């Protein structure tokens, strides 16, 4: 793979690469086919820099450092009250965090805004970022992820990853999402429970700082009125898709239970507004479709793998039911479930309506039609088959969506049309309801 990605590893030679190969195989067995880019890149770099957390032990806690904002749209959204860990001068300029929108996000690559790149020290090279940021930002896309569009709709800047050490601005919240992460504890270094612990760490440090009379990016009211968003489970479900269908079904409830537990933990810590995404149409991902199969009998009328899509739908049904239960329990809260499957499958099924010609083919991959995906050669190799800039593709690299597709998905997410209850995300944070912060 990626000669263009060797920037971060440095000097470890072929032995390590061979070991990495073995590790890679083991991980494929354990985790199934996670986002190709993430797996390849992550494993490759796991043991390299001394500072990179080793994957095996799980429970890696990283220090609360910050991250460079990704030069969102001309950078005009920058520089509110920049707060960077350890950087006293900038951070102490303002006594209190500005009132406004605060979002805390938990998840995987679907909402990672540069976390995995920062924490693993991955050098992500162009063409990542080419359609929007015009340079790689650590997002596994040619542009923005859905969370970025959510932030834009709330008139706030893109969320900084929790572990990005330069230029982060946490005044509007924190993104704890790390590509490749699972809801299931221990399966990945930054599984949902760890992301939760990081949130609690962040919250405690903020409140402690304010108690001392110092500055903090988010204050008590900010935590109470914040929006808590989650998009996780794709890697859990992906990891078991090789099993027979009945075995898959048996493994879904514990995954959903982890998400439930996370919501309960956040609620106990004062969170009152939850925006929970289900998982997407996994059977329509080029990475899945490119796996060898005997014949096409397992494909539906759109050319997607029925079994995988049914598993995703079942996962969502369970998660939606869980949100129903939580709504009854937490009557002081708003808990919204968003049917990402319906949104993402619609994009495939009605692709012509969205100006998409080849809904099952990657923009950035190898091998050309029908899927332009080669598991052995990621998008990030130098000789990829790359679609024309401006061409509308759903899939960027076989797993992750393009900026264009994420924009379409985000519009549906924000519309409330696919939300239970049917409310618009912006209605949770409009200034029309400032009293929300007293919840």
Cite the active site residues: 109, 397, 400
Nearest distance in Å: CB 417, ligand NAG: 10
Sign of CA dihedral 154, 122, 187, 374: positive
Nearer to ligand NAG, 117 or 312 (CB): 312
Nearer to ligand NAG, 106 or 337 (CB): 337
Q: Which helix (H) or strand (E) holds 105?
A: strand 103-107
Return the residues of window 127-166 that contact ligand NAG according to CB under 6 A: none
Which x/- pattern over 350-389 shows residues binding ligand NAG (rule: CB under 6 A)?
A: x---------------------------------------
Nearest distance in Å: CB 302, ligand NAG: 8
Nearer to ligand NAG, 337 or 345 (CB): 345
Nearer to ligand NAG, 264 or 346 (CB): 346
Nearest distance in Å: CB 411, ligand NAG: 13
- Backbone φ and ψ of 292, nearest 5°: -60, 140
* Of 383, 366, 402, residue with least CA distance to 130: 402
Please, which residues have CB within 8 angstroms of residue 405's CB and are 6 or more apart in sequence? 347, 356, 392, 393, 394, 395, 396
Nearest distance in Å: CB 350, ligand NAG: 4
Matching residue, tokens 């810590």:
269
Enumerate the β-bridge partners of residue 230: 106, 276
**Separation CA 119–CA 117 (nearest Å):** 6
Nearer to ligand NAG, 44 or 313 (CB): 313
Q: What is the CA radius of gyration of the chain?
A: 21
Nearest distance in Å: CB 345, ligand NAG: 5
Asked, as a colleague might, if the bond just before 209 is cis with ω within 30 of 0, I would say no
Nearer to ligand NAG, 249 or 349 (CB): 349
Q: Which helix (H) or strand (E) holds 335?
A: strand 334-338
Nearest distance in Å: CB 412, ligand NAG: 10
The CA–CA distances, whole Å, from 195 to 115, 168, 262, 339 equal 11, 17, 9, 23
Nearer to ligand NAG, 26 or 350 (CB): 350
- Tell me the number of residues near ligand NAG by CB under 6 A: 4
Which x/- pattern over 291-330 shows residues binding ligand NAG (rule: CB under 6 A)?
A: ----------------------------------------
Q: What's the gap between Cα 57 and its chain centre? A: 22
Nearer to ligand NAG, 197 or 300 (CB): 300
Return the residues of window 327-356 that contact ligand NAG according to CB under 6 A: 345-346, 349-350
DSSP code string of 163-214: T--SS---TTEEE---TT--SSTTSSTT-HHHHHHHHHHHHHHHHHHHHTT-
Task: Indicate the burial class of 317 (C-beta count within 10 angstroms; 0-12, 13-18, 19 or more).
Answer: middle
Q: What's the gap between Cα 50 and its chain centre? A: 25
**Separation CA 142–CA 392 (nearest Å):** 12
**Separation CA 41–CA 34 (nearest Å):** 11
Contact 177, 147 (CB under 8 A): yes
Q: What is the DSSP letter of 332?
A: T
Nearest distance in Å: CB 240, ligand NAG: 25
Nearest distance in Å: CB 358, ligand NAG: 17
Nearest distance in Å: CB 279, ligand NAG: 16
365: helix, strand or coil: strand
Contact 162, 44 (CB under 8 A): no
Nearer to ligand NAG, 345 or 401 (CB): 345
- Cβ neighbours around 42 below 10 Å, total: 25
415 sits near ligand NAG (criterion: CB under 6 A): no
Where do contacts with ligand NAG occur on this chain (CB under 6 A)? 345-346, 349-350
């Amino acid at each position: 793979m990626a000669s263009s990605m060797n920037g971060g590893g440095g000097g470890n030679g072929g032995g390590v690469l061979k070991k990495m190969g073995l590790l890679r195989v083991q991980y494929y067995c354990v985790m199934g086919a996670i986002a190709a880019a993430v797996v390849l890149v992550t494993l490759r770099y796991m043991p390299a820099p001394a500072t990179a957390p080793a994957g095996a032990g799980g429970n890696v806690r990283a220090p609360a450092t910050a991250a460079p904002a990704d030069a969102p749209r001309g950078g005009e959204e920058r520089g509110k009250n920049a707060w960077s860990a350890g950087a006293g001068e900038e951070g102490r300029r303002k006594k209190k965090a500005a009132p406004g929108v605060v979002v805390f996000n938990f998840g995987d690559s679907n909402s990672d805004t540069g976390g995995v790149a920062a924490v693993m020290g991955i050098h992500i090279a162009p063409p990542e970022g080419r359609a929007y940021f015009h340079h790689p930002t650590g997002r596994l896309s040619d542009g923005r992820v859905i969370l970025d569009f959510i932030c834009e709709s709330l008139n706030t800047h893109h969320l900084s990853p929790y572990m990005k050490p330069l230029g982060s601005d946490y005044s509007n919240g924190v993104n704890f999402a790390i590509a490749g992460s699972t809801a299931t504890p221990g399966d990945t270094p930054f599984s949902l429970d760890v992301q939760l612990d990081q949130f609690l760490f962040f919250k405690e440090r903020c409140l402690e700082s304010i108690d001392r009379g110092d500055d903090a990016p988010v204050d008590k009211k900010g935590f109470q009125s914040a929006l808590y968003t989650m998009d996780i489970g794709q890697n859990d479900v992906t990891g078991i898709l090789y099993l027979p269908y009945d075995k898959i079904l048996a493994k879904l409830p514990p995954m959903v239970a982890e998400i439930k537990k996370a919501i309960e933990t956040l609620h106990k810590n004062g969170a009152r507004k939850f925006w929970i995404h289900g998982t997407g149409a996994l059977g329509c991902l080029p990475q899945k479709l490119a796996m060898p199969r005997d014949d096409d009998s397992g494909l539906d009328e759109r050319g997607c793998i029925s079994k995988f899509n049914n598993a995703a739908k079942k996962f969502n049904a369970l998660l939606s039911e869980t949100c129903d239960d939580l709504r009854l329990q937490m009557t002081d809260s708003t808990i919204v479930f968003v049917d990402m499957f319906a949104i993402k499958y619609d994009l495939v099924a009605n692709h012509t309506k969205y100006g998409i010609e080849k809904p099952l083919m990657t923009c950035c991959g190898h091998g050309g039609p029908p899927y332009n995906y080669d598991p052995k050669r990621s998008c990030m190799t130098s000789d990829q088959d790359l679609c024309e800039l401006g061409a509308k593709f759903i899939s960027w690299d076989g797993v992750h969506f393009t900026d264009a597709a994420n924009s379409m998905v985000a519009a549906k997410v924000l519309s409330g049309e696919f939300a239970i209850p049917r409310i618009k995300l912006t209605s949770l944070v409009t200034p029309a309801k400032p009293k929300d912060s007293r919840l």
